[in-house]
Chains A and B, each alone.
Chain A
Amino acid sequence: MTPPETPKYKTTDEVDFVVIGSGAAGGIVAKELSENGFRVVVLEQGPYLTEKDFIHDEIEVLNRDFLTNHPDLQPNTFRKTPDEKAKPQRTIAYGRLVGGTSTHFTANFWRFHEIDFKEHSKVGDVPGAALADWPISYADLEPYYTKVEWEIGVSGQANASPFDPPRSKPYPMPPLPVKSSGVIFERAARKLGWHPFPAPMAILSQPRPGRSACINCGFCLAFACEVGAKSSSLATAIRMAEKTGRCEIRPNSYVHRIEMDANSRATGAIYFDAQRNVQRQKAKAVVVCANGAETPRLLLLSANKQFPDGLANSSGKVGKHLMFNSGAMSMGVFEHPLNDYKGFAVSRILHDFYELDPDKVGFHGGGGLDARFDMTPISFAFAGLPPGSPRWGKGFKDVLSNNFARTVEIFCHGTSLPVENNSFSLDPDLKDAWGLPALRMTYKDHPDDVKLSNWLNLRAAELLQAAGAQKQWSFPAGEQEFSVHLLGTCRMGNDPKTSVINSDHQTHDVKNLFLCDGSSLVTSGRGQPTMTIEALAFRASDRIRALAKRGDLSA
């Protein structure tokens, strides 16, 4: 049977849904809605690349933003606090192509734990933070986590960690093979009485139709997969959506305004096409999945007479409560070659420190550790050598040659507390290449986040010592000014005064406008948000479908 053709809708066709963004969330929303009979247009600002385009050229990928937002075209500004004037500075990186950031992520796919949804109830107010409970629980999301694992493809070992939350089904495929870094990590952690386990990864350990299992090429973090083994939206949900014959993926479409009618209903999206001509796609409802930076920016750019402070922003919370996930890293060099440049980044992790007792440690939060090697040859030469190493000459070559195959990174991932001032807003002066106001980031880590990172980093150093590293060093955590985890900026909640969307991902203010991506998160989890973003996208699609069937979205 030949698959139905991918439709080409006219912009004047009123489709059922326009989905803005094709990444981790947008891909799944497009798949779920089109599989349920709706007509969907996905507007993606980046190009439509496929496996044949994906290269291992570090200059193009890491240095020249082949897959990511380009700072010359879409500049950012940064300031620590709202009373400062923001200065031009690159603050974010995200995948700017069909599939979004899911095309080039590390693919760590931890579920959130029960505590992440009800932390405020458990620990109470944290000074300086706007900690809140989610309007949904882990149990509400559990079936959708399982859906992500089975439909999108996650490798892992069920119940291998005593700290894992309950699950209804095992993983669909076994964990990826262990790397030498993973073996070192596992042995040392057990020596210390901790509980290492195989990392759940959104990378195939077994082939699936049209997709290869991981071939361990070693160009993984920041690179897109040329054999479809990485479970990006591009390799999974987008193709399923296209297969329905009801979903059009429209690349090179940079949305800058959600169009509204006089009755406070969204009527479609206005965007620049590849030639920078303005187009209007009409739709019965709009779902914004543009990521935790671009989603609030789009709402703010869509301000009009009725919504002078930005669309769906009666609470004033659009763009606020930005969270990154805190992080720190220690590195070690071992006697024998690990050859960790082969393969994906992470094979072993641990969650012993997921819920720390604030009374014992003196700060709020928790986190996890992983063993990884996520560097490629050039990035290793600039970022992988011990501090104080020679920068050129024989000494440089010697340390580079000795260490490349012998180095392991122990990465610490942790809580980022929601702080109201931490935010994305529109820069009053700087414009992007299309003449739109640039994104301005205001961000200063909550002091507990920095304390947590440094505490976890001491555990990482302990682990390297127990593992018998010949040489080890740590990068202390400082206040962050750059992130790829963009979370919490249109948070979910029951109260329209303190949140932007309800538990159905519907904005409190506009009935047929939905938001689903990192911006929906109420807490940051402990470091790996994409699994939760995708579970939310499956759940949001179910909720939107139910509302549409009930007629709540019709004009």
Chain B
Amino acid sequence: MDNHLSRRGFLSQSLTGISAAWAAAHWPAMLSASAHARQAAQSASPAKFEFFSPEQAAEIDAIASRIIPTTDTPGAHEAGVVFFIDRALVTFAKDNQKLYSDGLPALQARVRELFPSVQKFSSATPEQQDQVLESFDEQAPGKGRRPLIPGPAVQSFFETLRVHTISGFLIDPDADKRGNRDGAGWKAIGRDREHMFMPPFGYYDKDYPGWQQDPQAPDKPKS
């Protein structure tokens, strides 16, 4: 909200004197931004699953909703992560189909093993659900190295589902991937939906007076 107000403030302030020139200079981008919006409107077609049965989809949705729960901000459910995963499994993540087909029944078996009175994951309480997932999560946090995104050679069902859930929550909502519905994931992490921004960007640069040479700077560097 703050950002929004400060950007509007920027536009209405004539003291910078560059808003109009700025807009003129950026028209190709504005066209591209409106193309994005159009594409988004087209992709908001009614949901239909391509890989999961409705029953499977309900279970995946329930699991994804524990990986990124709904709190005071949207979670995996609101972001339609299950639709992203469903599309992924018939496109770029085809190789993971078996992992899901085998993994989901194994996870349901674990539910019944831990909680004999519960039939399936989606019927368990949130606490029970977390216990089931914890029993599947054997991955230690990565050390040192800094992979941008985990590679395709993913190890276990849970780890794959975790990676897919996070990806489906945060993917560009305008990408052709059916994830991050309505930008819900970006809303949760505080990223504006736009693909074009103007300074000031954040708290620390909003009062920046402009670049000035350090008055203490030596003419010649010390060696």
- List A residues at the B interface (Cβ < 8 Å): 55-60, 62-64, 157, 160, 162-163, 175, 177-184, 190, 193, 195, 197-198, 206-207, 212-213, 215-219, 222, 226-228, 329, 334, 336-343, 352, 355, 357, 375, 377-379, 381-383, 387-389, 391-394, 396-398, 400-401, 404-405, 475-476, 478
Contact = CB atoms under 8 A, between A and B. Distances in A.
Nearest to B133: A392
B144 A475 contact: yes
Contacts of A190: 214, 216
B170 A62 contact: no
A167 B175 CA distance: 44
Interface in B161-175: 162-163, 165-167, 170-172, 174-175
14 contacts: A57-B177, A62-B148, A157-B211, A162-B221, A180-B203, A207-B25, A213-B26, A218-B195, A219-B195, A336-B204, A352-B221, A392-B162, A394-B69, A405-B189
B202 A378 contact: no
A391 B162 contact: yes
B208 A397 contact: no
A62 B149 CA distance: 7
Contact of A401 (B73, B197, B219): B73
Nearest to B214: A190
A216 B68 contact: no
Contacts of A392: 66-68, 133, 137, 162, 165
A215 B218 CA distance: 35
B167 A58 contact: yes
B32 interface: yes
B208 to A, nearest CB: 5
B91 to A, nearest CB: 10
A230 to B, nearest CB: 13
Nearest to A63: B149
Contacts of B144: 475-476, 478
A47 to B, nearest CB: 18
Given A57-B172, A222-B148, A397-B75, A377 B203 contact: no
B196 A400 contact: no
Given A379-B149, A381-B166, A392-B66, A60 B211 contact: no
Contacts of B205: 177-180, 182-183
B221 A405 contact: no
B42 interface: no
A377 B189 contact: yes
A378 B188 contact: no
B147 A183 contact: no
B223 interface: yes
Nearest to A181: B204
Contacts of A329: 146
Contact of B197 (A181, A342, A400, A478): A342
B217 interface: yes
Contacts of B211: 157, 160, 175, 178, 197-198
Nearest to B179: A59
A378 B170 contact: yes
Contacts of A387: 141, 143
A77 B83 CA distance: 37
B148 A379 contact: yes
B130 interface: yes
B221 A227 contact: no
B221 A212 contact: no
A469 B190 CA distance: 19
A132 to B, nearest CB: 24
A379 B170 CA distance: 9
Contacts of A398: 71
Contacts of A207: 25-26
B220 A391 contact: no
B191 interface: yes
B66 A339 contact: no
Contact of A226 (B32, B152, B185): B32
Nearest to B75: A397
A332 B174 CA distance: 30
B204 A183 contact: yes
A297 B144 CA distance: 31
A160 B162 CA distance: 46
Contacts of B165: 392
Contact of B195 (A56, A177, A206, A381): A56
B190 A382 contact: no
A52 to B, nearest CB: 9
B206 to A, nearest CB: 8
B116 interface: no
Nearest 7 A/B pairs, CB to CB: A336-B203, A180-B202, A57-B175, A339-B202, A180-B204, A377-B170, A342-B197
Nearest to A482: B145
Given A162-B221, A342-B201, 8 more contacts: A59-B171, A162-B218, A177-B201, A195-B221, A382-B149, A382-B150, A387-B141, A393-B66
A212 B196 CA distance: 12
Nearest to A389: B141
B157 interface: no
A388 B32 contact: no
A341 B191 contact: yes
B50 interface: no
B3 interface: yes
B45 interface: no
B223 A217 contact: no
B114 interface: no
